[in-house]
Structure 1
């Protein structure tokens, strides 16, 4: 089977992860803009990060046979620094219209402050202006109320639920999200949030309609192979292959394909990997290598 991981933060992952994902069948991924573990203090750090998502990381992914897309947004945690948030909002229209940007996100609430609400609403309006899908981050604390509040705000702004992906859903929130007509995404983390055993149970209960599975792998304890591993467990537990394909491939393509930036031919008709290519003078190769890694060679790292 082939897979799309529609929520994975590859800027914090290694080339080994790219190789493992491609070997497991991942053909495309979406990297949402998010926070970096500690607050950024200057708008220039956002500019460089956004540039990395549409530039170097897109190139790096292609060097392992995976098509890379991204979403652009000011995350809810950093929305609480209002002077910085105002400056980031000036940048977003420029980056949101770059090639390969498939949504505004991930946006929403963290502590559900007034500042988070303000910039959530501003970014909803930006998505509507650009006719882009929206990726919603639901809060880790007070998730139920935060998820319901997010949908209430989206509806206040007249958003079409079929163009909104509500992520980090769980058993407490899934039914309401589905009932309101949104794409309902589940983050599969090892040992926390939504594990793949729980995801199998949810699939048996709800079926595949508007359900999306992702890894959200980042700089913390997480697994960039969560999507193929969950698919394997679903098949083992008797879920039909077509249903598994929908939640690990087809639904993500349908949801984010509404951007006009993502289509299946992007990877089915992709050229062969050419690692002689450079990005701003940089390659993923090391020690003069021109071919795939051999057992006697060291791990891939970046060099000039």
Structure 2
């Protein structure tokens, strides 16, 4: 299994070990806002930590940790233009597999500009990009994201729109990857994720979004078991827990 979206820098070594023990072979840890991102240098140090420390912690428990770097919409500096300038320097690292987590949260004009710039980088560097949708105003944010994707003209296979639920899955009318975040407050349960995967033929990718708040290190194996219980096709189970993430991140 591949846990396709986490924030390992705020989780314990014991959590990584539990994930390894339950059959997770690869974990993607994404840039986020663990501190007040008051200046670009804080973000750059955060990216550096993910690349140079979290990958080593993964090796210690026998898990392959890969990294996504980018500016998160919930916390980024006012002068974020420097991050856009510096981001390409990180993309050549063998442990970096995507740009992200980026996206929209508060739906400000500045956020939209920041998202566009990161999408243009993803397009120019042919790099996968993880696009966040918020808990509140999810439909409104998703529709705005879809407009921005059209404007940037980025290929569908480079984009994962994340944190999608049963109320928004129908709105996605293109062949992007769709992230389902399981077993978190304000996100979806293993049963809800299983039913979505059973009822739709889309490129779903499951993840736990482990971070500093309540989350489940067993989100993927728990959802895998749930899918088996309700009769989800074996191919869909493999695709949502492994194959689609492997394809998207080019692992």
Question: Is the Cα contact below 8 Å between 2:126 and 2:158 reproduced in 1?
Answer: no
In the alignment, structure 1 residue 21 sits paired with structure 2 residue 14: no
What TM-score do you get using the length of structure 1 for normalisation? 0.79
What is the deviation of 1:74? 0.7
Query: Counterpart in 2 of 1:249?
Result: 242
In the alignment, structure 1 residue 202 sits paired with structure 2 residue 196: yes
Counterparts of 1:240 and 1:201 in 2: how far apart (Å)? 11
Question: Is the Cα contact below 8 Å between 1:108 and 1:136 reproduced in 2?
Answer: yes
Residues 181-212 of structure 1, C-alpha deviation per residue, up to 9 Å, x if partnerless? 111111112443111111122122114x4011
Counterparts of 2:68 and 2:24 in 1: how far apart (Å)? 18
**Unaligned residue ranges in structure 1 (runs of 5+):** 263-304
Question: Is the Cα contact below 8 Å between 1:71 and 1:101 reproduced in 2?
Answer: yes
Query: Counterpart in 1 of 2:36?
Result: 39
**Unaligned residue ranges in structure 2 (runs of 5+):** none
Q: Of the candidates 68, 92, 101, which is equivalent to residue 96 of structure 2? A: 101
Question: Is the Cα contact below 8 Å between 2:27 and 2:63 reproduced in 1?
Answer: yes
What is the deviation of 1:45? 1.8
Kindly tell me the number of residue pairs found equivalent between the two proteins. 251
Distance 1:73 1:190, change over 3 A: closer
Find the residue that maps to 1:78 and give its secondary structure.
Answer: coil
Query: Counterpart in 1 of 2:64?
Result: 67
Counterparts of 2:186 and 2:63 in 1: how far apart (Å)? 27
Query: Counterpart in 2 of 1:174?
Result: 169
Q: Of the candidates 4, 25, 32, which is equivalent to residue 6 of structure 1? A: 4
What is the deviation of 1:176? 2.1
Query: Counterpart in 2 of 1:116?
Result: 111
Question: Is the Cα contact below 8 Å between 2:205 and 2:245 reproduced in 1?
Answer: yes
Find the residue that maps to 1:201 and give its secondary structure.
Answer: helix
Distance 1:235 1:18, change over 3 A: same
What is the deviation of 1:174? 0.8
Counterparts of 2:231 and 2:174 in 1: how far apart (Å)? 28
Question: Is the Cα contact below 8 Å between 1:6 and 1:29 reproduced in 2?
Answer: yes
- When the two chains are superposed, the root-mean-square deviation of aligned CA atoms in Å is 1.4
Find the residue that maps to 2:33 and give its secondary structure.
Answer: coil
Counterparts of 1:230 and 1:250 in 2: how far apart (Å)? 15
Query: Counterpart in 2 of 1:135?
Result: 130
Find the residue that maps to 2:42 and give its secondary structure.
Answer: helix
Counterparts of 2:236 and 2:123 in 1: how far apart (Å)? 31
Find the residue that maps to 2:243 and give its secondary structure.
Answer: helix
Counterparts of 2:44 and 2:129 in 1: how far apart (Å)? 20
Counterparts of 1:124 and 1:190 in 2: how far apart (Å)? 27
Query: Counterpart in 2 of 1:187?
Result: 181
Counterparts of 2:241 and 2:180 in 1: how far apart (Å)? 11
Question: Is the Cα contact below 8 Å between 1:8 and 1:224 reproduced in 2?
Answer: no
Query: Counterpart in 1 of 2:28?
Result: 30
Counterparts of 1:76 and 1:30 in 2: how far apart (Å)? 19
In the alignment, structure 1 residue 82 sits paired with structure 2 residue 78: yes
In the alignment, structure 1 residue 144 sits paired with structure 2 residue 142: no
